[in-house]
Amino acid sequence: MIRLDNVTKSYRSGKVKIRALDNVSLEIKQGEFVLLNGPSGSGKTTFLNIAGCLTRVTSGRLFLEDQEISHLPDHFLSAIRREKFGFIFQQFNMIPGYTTWENVSIPLLPMGVSDKIRKKRAMNLLEELNLETRADFFANELSGGEQQRAAVARALINDPEVIMADEPLSNIDIKNAGMVIAILEKLKNKGKTIIISFHDSQPQIVKLIDRMVFFDSGKISSQTQLQ
Ligand SMILES: Nc1ncnc2c1ncn2[C@@H]1O[C@H](COP(=O)(O)OP(=O)(O)OP(=O)(O)O)[C@@H](O)[C@H]1O
Ligand SMILES: [Mg+2]
């Protein structure tokens, strides 16, 4: 489904050049649930951003369904993102001037879906995440954990084939984490491809994982097949 072929991503900060990803090759199959693990700064977020076409490779190639997409123009990549991917960002990226349900339904805006249907779909997801009472709050009025669950709802509203989640449980308590994990399990059972990053091990989620990929200093240091 998604394949990175010898991908390097370098950043320059002043005189220092950082290889956030260093010659990484990895193939993720359709329907696979992959956990990215590794210490802070090891390249997990960078990997997700590249696999999800949010950032371009410095060198190497990115394939989606056997088609090379690394060099497609921005508008093609945005269309791929909109239609195929749902993102849960490490920093949530909620828009403060919008309410929770409006934030959740943002991915539907370019698709010309009516306000009524956008709100209905957003409310269904908010209920599933125990957030329906916060639907009309502005994003800046939500706690960290509430924003994180709203970010989960927003990632799922366009029914994406691939869900990419960057530390999706890092700000939430056990009960709400259980809710997010139940949603991930449902998505897995529907055959969705899921790529998720954590720097700690999360015992509740281990039963869902097909493969763990460990990063260290921008490289894949090892992999473990669990199922
Ligand atoms: N925009 C950027 N400019 C410069 N350096 C960057 C940029 N983004 C990431 N890096 C560097 O790339 C390396 C990998 O960062 P990345 O965010 O992928 O790590 P991570 O594994 O997700 O870490 P964490 O567990 O803390 O989220 C880090 O050393 C970071 O400082
Ligand atoms: Mg990260």
Mutate which of 9, 12, 42 for ligand 1 pocket (most atoms within 8 A of beta carbon)? 42
Q: What are the domain boundaries of the chain?
A: 2-225
Cα–Cα distance, 126 to 129 (Å, whole number): 5
| Amino acid identity, position 24 | V
| Amino acid identity, position 108 | L
**CB 20 less than 6 A from any atom of ligand 1:** yes
**CB 19 less than 6 A from any atom of ligand 1:** no
The one-digit pLDDT tens for each residue of the chain (227 residues) are 999 999 999 999 889 999 999 999 999 999 999 999 999 999 999 999 999 999 999 999 999 999 999 999 999 999 999 999 999 887 888 999 999 999 999 999 988 899 999 999 999 999 999 999 999 999 999 998 899 899 999 999 999 999 999 988 887 888 888 888 989 999 999 999 999 998 766 677 888 999 999 999 999 999 999 98
Mutate which of 44, 57, 91, 198 for ligand 1 pocket (most atoms within 8 A of beta carbon)? 44
**CB 43 less than 6 A from any atom of ligand 1:** yes
- Pairing relationship of beta strands 219-225 and 162-166 according to DSSP bridges: unpaired
Closest CA to 90 of 129, 52, 137, 125: 52
Closest CA to 88 of 149, 24, 42: 149
**CB 219 less than 6 A from any atom of ligand 1:** no
Q: Which CATH class is domain 2-225?
A: alpha beta
Cα–Cα distance, 215 to 207 (Å, whole number): 21
**Predicted structure pTM score:** 0.92
Indicate which atom in ligand 1 lies nearest the CA of residue 218: 14
Residue 151 half-sphere exposure toward CB, CA atoms < 13 A: 28
- DSSP-derived letter for residue 106 is G
Cα–Cα distance, 182 to 198 (Å, whole number): 17
Cα–Cα distance, 61 to 68 (Å, whole number): 7
